[in-house]
């Protein structure tokens, strides 16, 4: 699956595309740093109606290919290195209880099961 990345895309649109391929997972984005070379934010953008511009300083646009065989760390690194987006992958909440983000080299299709 290829996801278009540009500053005008809404976060919810990216989340919907991601969830189409991985229905048991969700992707969340961190707010952009306070300045261009600033430390990454630790605050997740909770309003999915915001745009990707609210999440990054880097204005690179293009597409990212997300494969089921990708690791979480590879996806996060690609988003950061190419598009300046800091993201987390979470399991969908069960019984209304949110879980911790998925860490490390876990494969997307494996954790989606």
Query: Are the C-beta atoms of residues 80 and 41 closer than 8 Å to each other?
Result: no
Q: Where are the domains of the chain?
A: 2-112
pLDDT number for residue 36 = 61
CA nearest neighbour of 79 among 7, 29, 20 = 29
* Beta strands, E only, 39-100: 62-65, 87-91
Q: What is the pLDDT along the chain (113 residues), one digit of tens a residue?
A: 999 999 999 999 999 999 999 999 999 999 877 656 656 677 888 888 999 988 887 778 999 999 999 999 999 999 999 998 999 999 988 877 778 899 889 999 999 98
Which uninterrupted H or E stretch holds 111? helix 108-112
């Amino acid at each position: 699956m290829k996801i278009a990345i540009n500053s005008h895309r809404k976060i919810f649109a990216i989340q919907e595309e991601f969830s189409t391929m991985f229905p048991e997972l969700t992707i969340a984005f961190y707010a952009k740093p306070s300045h261009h070379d600033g430390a990454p934010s630790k605050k997740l953008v909770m309003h999915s109606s915001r745009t990707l511009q609210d999440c990054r300083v880097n204005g690179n646009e293009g597409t990212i290919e997300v494969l089921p065989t990708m690791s979480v760390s590879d996806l996060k690194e690609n988003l950061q290195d190419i598009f300046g987006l800091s993201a987390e992958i979470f399991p969908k909440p069960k019984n209304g209880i949110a879980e911790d983000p998925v860490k490390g080299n876990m494969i997307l299709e494996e954790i989606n099961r």
